[in-house]
Structure 1
Amino acid sequence: MITMARYIRARISAETDEHSSRQAGGTVADTAREDDAIQAVVERLKNAFSATHSPAEVEAAVVEAYASFADRPVRDFVPVLVERKARTLLSEPSS
């Protein structure tokens, strides 16, 4: 079974080559911990925005937010920053 975090990571790596450089610098445990944290972000946001956004829209917002941090060398706060950015994207009025 593929987790949402791995799916997001795969979509981002298809769009950018930054993913491979990040993998080279991080450990498997760091990557797994970040994957788990991003999965938790997706689930929290799906619950928080279930009345206004489909699960696919939430996942797309997380993918967009996560991609914006792909080239950041310090990964400790990426899940928190991704959640904040995705919440902002989901809270914006639709045009």
Structure 2
Amino acid sequence: MASYVVITSINKNSKDFGNFMDVIENCSSFSWHFPHSSVWFIKSDFSTEDITDMIYDSFDTDDESFVIAELKNNKQGWLTDDQWNILNNNIFSDM
């Protein structure tokens, strides 16, 4: 199982948001995103290509954009202890 970060231009007001969230929930065993942002961390058995195809197919318009990248256990940043615990225990736990 791999860990990924998904960054998208989609927001909660987009008509595609529900479809996008269905894909995220259906393709991952764990997902978490920062409140008020369009960054999701997911753990999935699917490849980047498979997830890309599923996300692309969920958009009804060409107005949305996204990128997905596989994560490795090389990380730095300014997060709260709770946020680091979520990521370390669920995304980076088996790396």
TM over 0.5: no
Higher helix share: 1
Q: Which has the higher contact order (CA 8 A, sep 6+)?
A: 2
Higher strand share: 2
